[in-house]
C-alpha cells in the first residue's frame, strides 16, 4: 500500500506542519514575481506593546493581541447561542482596548476583564477562553483547528483492490457510519463503488443528495451517458474515451462525479481509473523540472458550441497554493520548498510529498483549447498590446517547455500497474474525485434495442462534500481498517 508520509516527525525542527489551501490566481498560471501580500510590521509602538496581554501557558509566557482575544469571545453577549453567529463586528473593537487576567477556579479556562470594551457592552463583561484554544493559537495560529483527517493514500491497481471495498447501497443510504466510510474512501483514495443500486433513473441523484446538493450544470441536474447520433460530447459516442476530468472549462469544476450503471449489455466499454496524485508525486520526485513546468504553465480548456453553449477557462495541470507553508516558513516556489525541507532535515527526494499541498490536478485532452499566451476571457481590454513585443517567442517557449513535461505525465498515468479497470454491471455506481482521479472508458459496440450501455451521472461541489465529511468525522472518527474502523 502506498501511503503519504506525514511531517509530524519533523515538528521539533519546523514547529509542526501548517498546510493551507487557496484559490489559484492568474499569477500562478504564468510565471510572475510574488511578494508577501501583507508583510509584518518591523516593530510595534510602545503603546501597542503595552496593550499586549501576557498569559502563562504550560510554564511559558505568551503575548496575545487584545484585538485577537476580544474577537474570540463566545459569551451570549457576543455570539447568539442558537445560530452561533457573532452579535458584534470586529471593526467595533476599540483601538485602545485592554484587558487583565482575572483569577478563576478552572485551570483550563482563562478569564479576561476588559477595559475600554465595545460601546454598550456590560461593564462587567468577562471573556472566558479555553487554555486549549490559546495553546492552538501559539502552536498553529488557529484557536479551533479542524480535526486532522487521515493522509491521502497514493494507489495503484493492486493497492486499490486491497484497500477499498465495495459498499452496499442500502447500507450507504440508511447507516451514517457506512456513509462516513464512503466519504473517507473518497478523501483518502478518491474512488469508491456502491453495489445493489436500484435500476432507476433517480438513483444517482439519491446517492449524491445523501452527501449534499447536486451541482446543476448545462448538462442538467442529472444526465445520461450513452451513444447518440451527432454527439456534441465524445462521452456520447461509442469510441474509446481516454483519461480525463470533467468540466475543466468551468471556473469551478465539480469535485465529485457519480456514474450509475443502468444497462451494460454491449460488448466492451470497461471503465478505467488512475490516481493522478500518484503520477504527480512520481513526476515531482523523478522529473522536478517537468513538474514545475506543469505547475507554472497554463492550459486552455473550452466547450465550443457557440450555437448553444460556450465555456472557457485556463488552469495549469497542477494547482498549488501560494505561499506554500512548511512549518512556519513561507515558500513562494518549489525551490524554496525544497530548501526548507532540506533545512528541516528531510530527505527531499523521499520524504517531501507534494500531494500534501496539491489542491487540484487538471487533465482533459478532449476539451483542450488552442494554446495562447493571453486570453481574451481573462485579460482586460488593451492588455495584449503591452506584451506585443516577442509574445510569439514567449508562446513558443511556453509550449516547448510544456509538451515534454506533459508527455512524461501522460506516460505515468498510463502505466498498466497504475490503472484500475472494471466492467461496471447494472446496479453499480462509482463515486470519484473529479479533481484527482482520472477516468476513461474502453470503446464499446453500439447494441441494438435492449443491448446498450447506459450510465446516468451527477456532480457535487467540494464544499458540501467536505462539510459532510467533517461532521461525520467528528461523530465517528477514523473509519479506516488500520484505525479499527469498518
What does the pLDDT look like over 403-420, one tens digit per residue?
999 999 999 999 999 999
Which residue has 488552469 as its cell numbers? 315
Cα angle for residues 459, 462, 464 (degrees, 5° grid): 90
- Tell me which of 198 and 8 has the higher pLDDT: 198
Nearest to 207 by CA among 192, 194, 223: 194
Distance CA 4, CA 433 (A): 18
Cα angle for residues 358, 141, 333 (degrees, 5° grid): 35
**End-to-end alpha-carbon separation of the chain, Å?**
18
Quick: pLDDT tens for 37-48.
455 554 555 556
The answer to whether residues 109 and 72 touch, using CB atoms and an 8 Å cutoff, is no
Distance CA 359, CA 319 (A): 6
Span 8-29, average pLDDT: 35
Task: Find the DSSP H helices in 176-329.
Answer: 176-188, 203-209, 276-286, 288-296
Distance CA 322, CA 22 (A): 7
> What is the distance of C-alpha 273 from the center of its chain?
19
Identity of the highest mean pLDDT range in 42-51, 199-208, 219-228 = 199-208
* Segment among 134-143, 283-292, 358-367, 415-424 with least mean pLDDT: 134-143
Q: How crowded is the C-beta side of 105, counted as CA atoms within 13 Å?
A: 0
The answer to whether residues 428 and 194 touch, using CB atoms and an 8 Å cutoff, is yes
Cα torsion angle, 349, 355, 359, 363, sign: positive
Q: Which cell goes with 484? A: 479499527
Question: 317 Cβ partners below 8 Å, 6+ apart?
Answer: 294, 295, 299, 361, 362, 363, 406, 409
* Segment among 92-101, 184-193, 232-241, 268-277 with least mean pLDDT: 232-241
Quick: pLDDT tens for 349-403.
888 999 999 999 999 999 999 998 765 455 555 555 555 558 888 899 999 999 9
pLDDT score recorded for residue 327: 77
Domains of the chain: 46-140 (3.30.2020.30), 152-320+358-486 (3.60.130.10)
The answer to whether residues 341 and 353 touch, using CB atoms and an 8 Å cutoff, is no
pLDDT score recorded for residue 149: 86
Span 181-207, average pLDDT: 98
pLDDT confidence band for 316 (50 / 70 / 90): very high
Span 423-429, average pLDDT: 95
Distance CA 394, CA 297 (A): 11
- Tell me which of 227 and 302 has the higher pLDDT: 302
Quick: pLDDT tens for 62-83.
999 999 999 999 999 999 999 9
Q: Which cell goes with 454? A: 447506459
Span 242-261, average pLDDT: 97
> What is the distance of C-alpha 282 from the center of its chain?
20
- pLDDT at residue 54 greater than cutoff 70: yes
pLDDT score recorded for residue 142: 81
Q: How many CB atoms lie within 10 A of CB 78?
A: 17
What percent of the chain lies above the pLDDT cut of 70? 79
| Burial zone of 196 (CB within 10 Å; 0-12 exposed, 13-18 middle, 19+ buried) | middle
Q: How many CB atoms lie within 10 A of CB 373?
A: 18
Nearest to 368 by CA among 301, 280, 318, 297: 301
Mean pLDDT of the residues in the chain = 85
Question: 278 Cβ partners below 8 Å, 6+ apart?
Answer: 2, 154, 155, 156, 418
3-state SS class at 310: strand
Amino acid at each position: 500500500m502506498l501511503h503519504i508520509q506525514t511531517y509530524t516527525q519533523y515538528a521539533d525542527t519546523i514547529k509542526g506542519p501548517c498546510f493551507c489551501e487557496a484559490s489559484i490566481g492568474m499569477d500562478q498560471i504564468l510565471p510572475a514575481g510574488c511578494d508577501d501580500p501583507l508583510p509584518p510590521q518591523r516593530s510595534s509602538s510602545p503603546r501597542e506593546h503595552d496593550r499586549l496581554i501576557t498569559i502563562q501557558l504550560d510554564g511559558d509566557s505568551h503575548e496575545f493581541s487584545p484585538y485577537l482575544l476580544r474577537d474570540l469571545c463566545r459569551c451570549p453577549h457576543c455570539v447568539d447561542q442558537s445560530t452561533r453567529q457573532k452579535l458584534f463586528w470586529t471593526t467595533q473593537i476599540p483601538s485602545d482596548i485592554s484587558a487583565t487576567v482575572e483569577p478563576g477556579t478552572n485551570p483550563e479556562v482563562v478569564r479576561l476583564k476588559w477595559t475600554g470594551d465595545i460601546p454598550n457592552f456590560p461593564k462587567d463583561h468577562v471573556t472566558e477562553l479555553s487554555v486549549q484554544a490559546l495553546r492552538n493559537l501559539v502552536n498553529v495560529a488557529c484557536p479551533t483547528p479542524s480535526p486532522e483527517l487521515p493522509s491521502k493514500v497514493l494507489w495503484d491497481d493492486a493497492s486499490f483492490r486491497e484497500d477499498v471495498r465495495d459498499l452496499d447501497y442500502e447500507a450507504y443510504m440508511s447507516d451514517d457510519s457506512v456513509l462516513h466510510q464512503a466519504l473517507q474512501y473518497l478523501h483518502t483514495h478518491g474512488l469508491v463503488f456502491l453495489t445493489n443500486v436500484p435500476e432507476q433513473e433517480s438513483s444517482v441523484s439519491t446517492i449524491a443528495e445523501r452527501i449534499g446538493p447536486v451541482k446543476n450544470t448545462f448538462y442538467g441536474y442529472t444526465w445520461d451517458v450513452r451513444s447518440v447520433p451527432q454527439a456534441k460530447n465524445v462521452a456520447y459516442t461509442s469510441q474509446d474515451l481516454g483519461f480525463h476530468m470533467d468540466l475543466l472549462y468551468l471556473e469551478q469544476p465539480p469535485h465529485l462525479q457519480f456514474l450509475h450503471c443502468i444497462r451494460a449489455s454491449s460488448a466492451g466499454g470497461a471503465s478505467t481509473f488512475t490516481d493522478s496524485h500518484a503520477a504527480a508525486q512520481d513526476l515531482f520526485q523523478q522529473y522536478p523540472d517537468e513538474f514545475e513546468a506543469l505547475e507554472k504553465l497554463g492550459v486552455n480548456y473550452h466547450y465550443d458550441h457557440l450555437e448553444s453553449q460556450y465555456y472557457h477557462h485556463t488552469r495549469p495541470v497542477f494547482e498549488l497554493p501560494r505561499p506554500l507553508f512548511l512549518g512556519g516558513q513561507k515558500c513562494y516556489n518549489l525551490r524554496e520548498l525544497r530548501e526548507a525541507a532540506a533545512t528541516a532535515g528531510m530527505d527531499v527526494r523521499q520524504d517531501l510529498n507534494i500531494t500534501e499541498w496539491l489542491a487540484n490536478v487538471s487533465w482533459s485532452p478532449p476539451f483542450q483549447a488552442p494554446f495562447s499566451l493571453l486570453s481574451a476571457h481573462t485579460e482586460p481590454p488593451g492588455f495584449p498590446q503591452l506584451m506585443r513585443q516577442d509574445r510569439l517567442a514567449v508562446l513558443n517557449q511556453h509550449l516547448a517547455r510544456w509538451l515534454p513535461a506533459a508527455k512524461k505525465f501522460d506516460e505515468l498515468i498510463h502505466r498498466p500497474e497504475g490503472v484500475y479497470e472494471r466492467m461496471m454491471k447494472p446496479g453499480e455506481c462509482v463515486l470519484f474525485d473529479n479533481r484527482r482521479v482520472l477516468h476513461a472508458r474502453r470503446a464499446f459496440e453500439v447494441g441494438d434495442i435492449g443491448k446498450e450501455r447506459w450510465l446516468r451521472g451527477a456532480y457535487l461541489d467540494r464544499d458540501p462534500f467536505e462539510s459532510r465529511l467533517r461532521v461525520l468525522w467528528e461523530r465517528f472518527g477514523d473509519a479506516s481498517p488500520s484505525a479499527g474502523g469498518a
